[in-house]
Structure 1
Amino acid sequence: MSANRVRGSSGALVALLVMTAVWGSTFFVIHDLLTRLPVTDMLAVRFAMATVALVLITGRRLRMSWSTVRAGSVLGLLYGVAQVLQTVGLAHTAASVSGFLTGLYVVATPLLAAVALRARVTPTVWLATGLATVGLGVLSLHGFSVGYGELLTVASALVYAVHIIVMGRLSRPGEALALSVVQVAVITLVCSVAACWPGSGRGAGLQLPTSARDWLTVAYLGVVAGALTMVLQTWAQARVEPARAAVVMAMEPVWAAAFAVAFGGERLTIRMVTGGLAILAAMYLVELAPRRRRGDPAAEVHSPPAVPAEETSP
């Protein structure tokens, strides 16, 4: 039993790392797309393609209960609102500052879990959270002032943190596909409403990509960085608690920097190396150090990676 749970926790770590690598690749892929396509329109098309992809992949195997529909709707609403807040905030602040402030969900997740759920957060996780935050700051910040865009981005980070916590409570092994389908469908609805909102000042209707290259980019963002990553996160968070998941997810800007250096022509800097090492150290603390210290892999799962049914009951 313990060995199976450890394998599940290790698999969840790999899934989250793959997810953050894909997320990191989007910064490079999306570099010039948003000069031709409004952000909310891109999000609506992206998640619509993610929904279609998941429905086609699951086909007749797709089965879900009303509880799954309710859970997925709540999660999709949270994620969709966070996406809109983040992207609107991005229009009023620097991308580097936005990346740091969005990454504050690493801090917000254990704080909210401790307050709202009375979850016990170990000193090791708090230390890892602090290290990850320092790493995010070193990677991203070149100074900033607090304004409208920054406040919206902080709000998005808080909503992302709530999404991570709720995902940890509602996601169950074996329901990743069904829960993901509902989530991306609701995210599509939220982003479509934001894109077509009458007060947006750019006219009614949804603007679509106009070239094959842009369609391919949006397809990658939807199918790989939308559908696949949603399934990976949903599956992984059924096996690892939210605070640890948030620390691992802080690897996203490290991957983004790596892709920028490898494919975007950027120079490798001391800031990138220092920030990346701090985040890697944080991930080591929450995932690997306890196992080596105890000398027993099974002992690492001191917090249940899968949420027992009785803990999700009201």
Structure 2
Amino acid sequence: MTQHLRADLLLVATTLIAAAGWMFSKEALAGFSPLFFIALRFAGAGVVLAFFCIKPLQSLTKIQLIAAIKIGLLFGSAMVFWILGLKHAQHLGVGAFLTSLGVVMVPLLNFILGGEKPSHFAFLSLPFVVSGLAVLSLDSEFYFGLGELCFLLSAFFLAFMFIFNSRAAISIGALPLTSVQLMVAGLVTGLVSAFFEEWSFQYSPAIWGWFFASLFLATSLRFLMQTYAQGLAPPSHTAIIMTLEPVWTALLASFWFSETMSFSQLLGCTLVFVAVLVNRAPALRLWLRAKRPHL
């Protein structure tokens, strides 16, 4: 199995776990304050991973540690703007679309920041992924205000976080890198939460159950897998695959909450799938040639 194929499979699995994380988070937020939930979830996940990489953490150079902390600051800032977007947005579908644009920006931003030039297949996939995310998230109403601006800022921070995380994952082990960035993101969101929210630990066992599912599966495991996969392939290769997350989320939510998907949602999911196939067309062509029987 090539590194790029391994990255593809891991990222698809990551998007599936991330989609399940939306369900876990929605259930947990029936009790938790939003920022406090994210702070406790990220910081706790970072500490959990730290127990498995104490020596690698101690072996990090000053440059490596600073790089991991910067990624955590970007991630934490993205989450703060995302929460502010949720608070002020007039239309959550617009917010979901704007936030999803973060990974769409990655190939071009990575090139501007001195990374590799995206392949023409990556550019060809962009119209499909943007239109797919739009159909999946938007309806006839598009309003842009303070909340939507916060979602767009969150998307930019997520895009930069994705790029620098991919670069750092080449030279830093996935476990210590993920551990540091999650703890820093938890610290950033925790500081903001301390100013705007009241903290409480008096929740029902069911709420705590959803919280720990979010911590161990949707955070520790999900971001560890994502960081490891990002170290196997360039950002322009991996970013488009991450757009599968809202697709799995929509499909899983329709099952979880016994909802019926609309035609526009199904069309949006299909367009995103097409975008991923277009982006990975060269690899698919090689795979089909390998599977073709020799005559």
TM-score by length of 2: 0.90
CA shift digits 1:100-133 (9 cap, x unpaired): 1100113321221222226312221012122111
Q: Indicate the percent of aligned positions where both proteins have the same amino acid.
A: 28
Within the alignment, does 1:290 sit opposite 2:288 as a pair? no
Query: Would the alpha carbon gap of residues 42 and 119 (structure 1) be closer, same or farther in structure 2, given more than 3 Å must change?
Result: same
CA shift digits 1:34-77 (9 cap, x unpaired): 24321110011111220232123345665531233222101111
Q: How does 1:293-304 map to 2 (within 5 A)?
A: 293=285
Corresponding residue of 2:33 = 38
* Partner amino acid, structure 2, of 1:181: S
SS of residue matched to 2:51: helix
Superposition deviation, residue 26 in structure 1: 2.3
Given that 1:128 and 1:283 are in contact with CA atoms closer than 8 Å, whether structure 2 keeps it comes out as: yes
SS of residue matched to 1:31: helix
Query: Would the alpha carbon gap of residues 174 and 195 (structure 1) be closer, same or farther in structure 2, given more than 3 Å must change?
Result: closer
Given that 2:27 and 2:210 are in contact with CA atoms closer than 8 Å, whether structure 1 keeps it comes out as: no
**Partners of 1:181 and 1:209 in 2: CA distance:** 27
Q: Which runs of 5+ in 1 are unaligned?
A: 1-5, 299-314
**Partners of 1:89 and 1:284 in 2: CA distance:** 31
Given that 1:109 and 1:242 are in contact with CA atoms closer than 8 Å, whether structure 2 keeps it comes out as: yes
Corresponding residue of 1:78 = 74
Corresponding residue of 1:184 = 182
RMSD (Å) for aligned C-alpha atoms: 2.2
**Partners of 1:269 and 1:18 in 2: CA distance:** 25
Give the one of 113, 135, 155 matched to 2:132: 135
Given that 2:106 and 2:163 are in contact with CA atoms closer than 8 Å, whether structure 1 keeps it comes out as: yes
Query: Would the alpha carbon gap of residues 95 and 30 (structure 1) be closer, same or farther in structure 2, given more than 3 Å must change?
Result: farther
Query: Would the alpha carbon gap of residues 294 and 269 (structure 1) be closer, same or farther in structure 2, given more than 3 Å must change?
Result: same
Given that 2:43 and 2:184 are in contact with CA atoms closer than 8 Å, whether structure 1 keeps it comes out as: no
Superposition deviation, residue 256 in structure 1: 0.5
Query: Would the alpha carbon gap of residues 245 and 20 (structure 1) be closer, same or farther in structure 2, given more than 3 Å must change?
Result: same
Superposition deviation, residue 173 in structure 1: 6.4
* Partner amino acid, structure 2, of 1:9: H
Superposition deviation, residue 15 in structure 1: 1.2
Give the one of 15, 32, 49 matched to 1:20: 15
Given that 2:4 and 2:232 are in contact with CA atoms closer than 8 Å, whether structure 1 keeps it comes out as: yes
**Partners of 2:2 and 2:57 in 1: CA distance:** 26
Corresponding residue of 2:239 = 246
**Partners of 1:297 and 1:80 in 2: CA distance:** 44
Within the alignment, does 1:125 sit opposite 2:83 as a pair? no
Within the alignment, does 1:269 sit opposite 2:267 as a pair? no
Given that 1:136 and 1:275 are in contact with CA atoms closer than 8 Å, whether structure 2 keeps it comes out as: yes
SS of residue matched to 1:57: coil
Superposition deviation, residue 216 in structure 1: 1.2
**Partners of 2:118 and 2:50 in 1: CA distance:** 37
SS of residue matched to 1:103: helix
**Partners of 1:282 and 1:128 in 2: CA distance:** 5
CA shift digits 1:253-297 (9 cap, x unpaired): 11101111222111022122211111111111222x113446798
Query: Would the alpha carbon gap of residues 209 and 96 (structure 1) be closer, same or farther in structure 2, given more than 3 Å must change?
Result: farther
Corresponding residue of 2:293 = none
Within the alignment, does 1:257 sit opposite 2:255 as a pair? no
Given that 1:71 and 1:170 are in contact with CA atoms closer than 8 Å, whether structure 2 keeps it comes out as: yes
Superposition deviation, residue 171 in structure 1: 1.0
SS of residue matched to 1:240: coil
Q: How does 1:216-255 map to 2 (within 5 A)?
A: 216-255=209-248
**Partners of 2:284 and 2:134 in 1: CA distance:** 29
Superposition deviation, residue 30 in structure 1: 2.5
**Partners of 2:3 and 2:115 in 1: CA distance:** 25
Query: Would the alpha carbon gap of residues 32 and 144 (structure 1) be closer, same or farther in structure 2, given more than 3 Å must change?
Result: farther
Q: How does 1:93-132 map to 2 (within 5 A)?
A: 93=89, 94-117=91-114, 119-132=116-129
Q: Which runs of 5+ in 2 are unaligned?
A: 291-295
Given that 2:124 and 2:279 are in contact with CA atoms closer than 8 Å, whether structure 1 keeps it comes out as: no
Q: Larger % of helix: which?
A: 2
**Partners of 1:213 and 1:166 in 2: CA distance:** 37
TM-score by length of 1: 0.85
